Every structure is written in C-alpha cells, then in structure tokens.
C-alpha cells in the first residue's frame, strides 16, 4: 500500500537538459515541463541573483539593460556556465515538485554522446547539487530512439538523427546499445547564426538571434524550392551603414542559401556515420531507414535533403521535440528493462 502511494506520488524524473529547451518528465505523469534553457540574472553590488528562468527569461534575450543578463548556460550541447545551469535545474525541479514530502528525487538526465567524462561529471554533479538522491545518465540518441518508438532492443539496426539547438547526434542502435555514434556540434543555433551572417553580408542588415530563429521557423528550408523563390517574409533590423531600422523582403530561396553550410555539415555527419556502420547493420537501414528527431527535424525539407543525400527512407518522428524526454521517461518507468543503457558513472 505504502509502496503504491510512493509509486503514484513519486517525483522521480527524467530531464532532457537541452541547449535550447529543457523538458522534465515526471514518473507516472509524463512531460510536465517544457521551457527554454534560459536564465535571467540581475547583477547588483557585485552579487548576482536569478530573476527569471525559462519562457520569461527567453523573452528578455537581447533586450536586457546593462545590469540584467539573459544567459543560455548550455552551449553546443554541454554546460558552458556551471553555476547558472545548476540554478536552472534547481528551479525546474522545484517547479515540478508539488509535494515537498517526496523531495530528493531519483533523476535520469540526458547527455550528448560526444560529451567528455568531465562534462558528464559536471551534469551529474549539478543534478546532485540540485537535490537529486540518485542520478543516472542516458545517451541522448538512445533516449531519442526509445522516444521515437524504434525497436532499440532488437538485433536490427536503426538510425536516429537528433538535430537539436547545439548538437546533431547521429547514432546506429541495435540490441539495446549504440553501435556507432557521431555528434556534430552544429544544430539550430548554427542555423540562426548563419542567417544573421547572411543578412549582414548580403543586406548590411543587423538582426538579433530571436529574429533569426523566427525566420528559420517561419520560412526556413533545407533545399531551395524546386520552382520559383518560395514563400517570402519581411525582416526588420538595423542598417549597418546608416544605423537606422530598416525592413527588407527575404525569399525561401535565399534562406536555403543562407542555411546551406550548417545543413551540409549535418548531412556530411550522416553520410560518414553510414560509411562507418558495419555492413550487416547498414543492410538493415535500407529497410528501417533513418528517423529524425529534435527541433531541426521540423525544418522544411530536412527529411528530403537527407533522403537525397543517402538514398535511404527518412521519416520525422511524431513529437520530434519531445522524443528525448519521452524516451528517458520510458527508461524511468521501466528501469529494470532499461538498466543496461543507464549509467551512474561517467
Ligand atoms: N519548425 C522548426 N523549424 C526549424 N527549426 C526549429 C523548428 N522548431 C524548433 N526549431 C529549432 O530546434 C532547436 C531546438 O531543438 P531541441 O529542443 O530539440 O534542442 P535541444 O534539445 O534543446 O538542443 P540539444 O539537443 O542540442 O542540446 C532550436 O534551434 C529551434 O530553433
Ligand atoms: Mg536535445
């Protein structure tokens, strides 16, 4: 009876600590939190204090006065600012806790495959410092594959490509293990920067990261439209020569040109992963195809670009943005069957 109650009210959780977004899955409840990985800090009299986290802090990015800083503590898929990351994890854990009695949860947390032992330890220790009782780590592409519903435990190769904000993780999974993986430190953030650079070089127009992300989500495209210039969008920014605000019209063909370099890098990563995949598993991929997850999977024609480059069938996972959280949540729910893929060491 008592065990049952703990089961129902357990606050054990799985966290997808992403460069762009953090998702928290609570046992028996599902994904209960999904917020940008942004923290706003007030610096006053040599001391700093967190004043906003998540959605509220993101709306401040690029718009803060001198004494307030909006920080993205995760960069390239790893922790760039330890103190602020820890504050952020603490804040999110507190937010999902509705019963103080069962504090000190067990936490499963995702790490990119390319992260070093030092980076893993930092993530592990941040979760402990944030109040976790026990912390296990799960590789991000494995979590993504489980969340996308791939048959990870079967002796059949499947390929997952998780295109996040900071990294693109490419992995071939079979028999519950990662047979091959590659992490490219290029993702949605690099696409935003490519757009900013394009606007500056081509139009002498300075735009911020928030505008660049908006353009990418609205009209972003991986392959230039087959006919014509595609959709258009009006962009406001600051003219670098005159210093005053101006507006220009951008076409999808131009956006495709602006995004070509980061997209090419991701495609090269997928191709080299295929070259390094053992032949028996490569043969499986012809039938199983490639599954895309992460926010970058939602970029228009991203699937088509990978299909063209590899000749393999490519599908976009349902709930691409939540796959990692859903997959680590599944591992949390049936821990015994996923034991081998969780690690408590680094
Ligand atoms: N419709 C869309 N089209 C293109 N890009 C998108 C779209 N929606 C979200 N994105 C981008 O996806 C990225 C966020 O994806 P996701 O939440 O999977 O990243 P993350 O898990 O936080 O990062 P990482 O896994 O690298 O740590 C952002 O760069 C965002 O701009
Ligand atoms: Mg991610």
pLDDT per position as a tens digit, 103-151: 678 999 998 887 888 888 988 998 888 888 899 999 999 999 999 999 9
Q: In this predicted model, what pLDDT tens digit does every residue of 144-153 receive, in sequence order?
A: 999 999 999 9
- Tell me, using a 6 A CB cutoff, whether residue 189 lines ligand 1: yes
- Tell me, using a 6 A CB cutoff, whether residue 299 lines ligand 1: yes
In a domain, 329, yes or no: yes
One domain for residues 24 and 45: no
Q: Distance (Å, rounded) from C-alpha 235 to C-alpha 94?
A: 39
- Compare 240 and 63 and report the one with higher pLDDT: 240
Q: Residue 209 CA: which ligand is closest?
A: 1
Q: Give me the CATH number covering residue 306.
A: 3.30.420.40
Q: Give me the CATH number covering residue 235.
A: 3.90.640.10
Mean pLDDT in residue range 159-180? 94
One domain for residues 201 and 90: no
For residues 73, 77, 78 and 84, what is the CA-based torsion angle, rounded to 10 degrees?
A: 20
Q: In this predicted model, what pLDDT tens digit does every residue of 202-255 receive, in sequence order?
A: 999 999 999 999 999 999 999 999 999 999 999 999 999 999 999 999 999 999
137 Cα: distance to centroid of ligand 1 (angstroms): 21
One domain for residues 17 and 108: yes
Residue 165: predicted pLDDT: 96
Q: Which of residues 240, 259, 278 is at a domain's end?
A: 259
Residue 7: predicted pLDDT: 44
Residue 181: predicted pLDDT: 92
One domain for residues 111 and 139: yes
One domain for residues 6 and 138: yes
**Strand residue runs (E) in 304-343:** 314-316
One domain for residues 177 and 268: yes
Q: Distance (Å, rounded) from C-alpha 159 to C-alpha 182?
A: 11
The structural domain count of the chain equals 4
- Tell me, using a 6 A CB cutoff, whether residue 115 lines ligand 1: no
Residue 130: predicted pLDDT: 81
Say yes or no to pLDDT of 174 above 60: yes
Say yes or no to pLDDT of 53 above 60: yes
One domain for residues 121 and 9: yes
Mean pLDDT in residue range 15-25? 95
Q: Distance (Å, rounded) from C-alpha 55 to C-alpha 107?
A: 23
Q: What is the mean pLDDT of the chain?
A: 91
pLDDT confidence band for 98 (50 / 70 / 90): low
One domain for residues 30 and 161: no
269 Cα: distance to centroid of ligand 1 (angstroms): 18
In a domain, 192, yes or no: yes
One domain for residues 8 and 107: yes
Greatest CA span in the chain, whole angstroms?
72
One domain for residues 216 and 117: no
- Is 4:308 a contact under the CB 8 Å cutoff? no
Q: Distance (Å, rounded) from C-alpha 44 to C-alpha 48?
A: 6
Query: Which structural domain, as residue segments, surrounds residue 253?
Result: 188-259
Q: Quick one: how far is CA 119 from the chain centroid?
A: 16
- Is 288:277 a contact under the CB 8 Å cutoff? no
**Strand residue runs (E) in the chain:** 13-17, 21-26, 30-36, 39-44, 47-53, 68-71, 74-75, 78-79, 106-111, 134-139, 158-163, 168-174, 177-184, 205-206, 232-239, 245-251, 290-293, 314-316
Q: Which of 70, 114, 93, 72 is nearest to 12 (CA)?
A: 93
One domain for residues 125 and 182: no
List Cβ neighbours of 168 (8 Å cut-off, separation of 6 or more).
161, 162, 183, 184, 186, 187, 266, 269, 294, 296
- Is 11:103 a contact under the CB 8 Å cutoff? yes
Residue 1: predicted pLDDT: 44
**Strand residue runs (E) in 3-145:** 13-17, 21-26, 30-36, 39-44, 47-53, 68-71, 74-75, 78-79, 106-111, 134-139
For residue 76, give the ligand 1 atom closest to its CA: 26
Surrounding ion ligand 2 within 5 Å at CB are 18, 164
In a domain, 31, yes or no: yes
What sign does the CA torsion over 81, 86, 91, 92 have? positive
Q: Which residue in the block uniquely carries the two structure tokens 């480059």?
A: 309
Q: Residue 189 CA: which ligand is closest?
A: 1
- Among 294, 302, 319, 328, residue to substitute to test ligand 1 (most atoms within 8 Å of Cβ): 294
- Tell me, using a 6 A CB cutoff, whether residue 12 lines ligand 1: no
One domain for residues 80 and 10: yes
Residue 29: predicted pLDDT: 93
Strand partners, 238: 206, 245
In a domain, 149, yes or no: no
In a domain, 150, yes or no: no
**Strand residue runs (E) in 175-220:** 177-184, 205-206
Say yes or no to pLDDT of 18 above 90: yes
pLDDT > 70: percent of the chain: 95
Say yes or no to pLDDT of 65 above 90: no
Q: In this predicted model, what pLDDT tens digit does every residue of 252-288 receive, in sequence order?
A: 999 999 999 999 999 999 999 999 999 999 999 999 9
Residue 6: predicted pLDDT: 46
For residue 321, give the ligand 1 atom closest to its CA: 18
């Amino acid at each position: 009876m008592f065990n049952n109650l703990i089961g129902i009210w357990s606050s054990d959780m799985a966290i997808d600590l992403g460069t762009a977004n953090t998702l928290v899955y609570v046992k028996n409840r599902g994904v209960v939190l999904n917020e940008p990985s942004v923290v706003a800090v007030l610096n006053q009299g040599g001391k700093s204090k967190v004043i906003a986290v998540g959605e509220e802090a993101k709306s401040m990015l690029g718009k803060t006065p001198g004494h307030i800083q909006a920080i993205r503590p995760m960069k390239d898929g790893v922790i760039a600012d330890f103190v602020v990351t820890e504050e952020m994890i603490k804040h999110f854990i507190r937010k999902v806790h509705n019963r103080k009695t069962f504090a000190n949860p067990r936490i499963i947390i995702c790490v990119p495959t390319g992260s070093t032992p030092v980076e893993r330890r930092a993530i592990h220790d941040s979760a402990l410092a944030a109040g976790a009782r026990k912390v296990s780590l799960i590789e991000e592409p494995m979590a993504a594959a489980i969340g996308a519903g791939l048959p990870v435990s079967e002796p059949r190769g499947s390929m997952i490509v998780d295109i996040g904000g900071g990294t693109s993780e490419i992995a071939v999974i079979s028999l519950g293990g990662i047979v091959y993986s590659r992490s490219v430190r290029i993702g949605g953030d690099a696409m935003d920067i490519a757009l900013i650079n394009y606007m500056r070089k081509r139009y002498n127009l300075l735009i911020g990261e928030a505008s660049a992300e908006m353009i990418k989500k609205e009209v972003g495209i991986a392959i230039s439209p087959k006919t014509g210039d595609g959709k258009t969008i009006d962009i406001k920014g600051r003219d670098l020569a005159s210093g005053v605000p101006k507006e220009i019209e951008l076409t999808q063909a131009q956006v495709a040109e602006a995004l070509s370099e980061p997209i090419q890098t991701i495609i090269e990563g997928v191709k080299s992963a295929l070259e390094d995949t053992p032949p028996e598993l490569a043969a499986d991929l012809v039938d199983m195809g490639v599954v895309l997850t992460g926010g970058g999977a939602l970029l228009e024609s991203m699937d088509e670009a990978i299909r063209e480059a590899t000749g393999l069938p490519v599908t976009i996972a349902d709930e691409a943005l939540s796959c990692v959280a859903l997959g680590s949540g599944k591992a949390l729910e049936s821990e015994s069957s996923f034991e081998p893929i969780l690690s408590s060491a680094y």
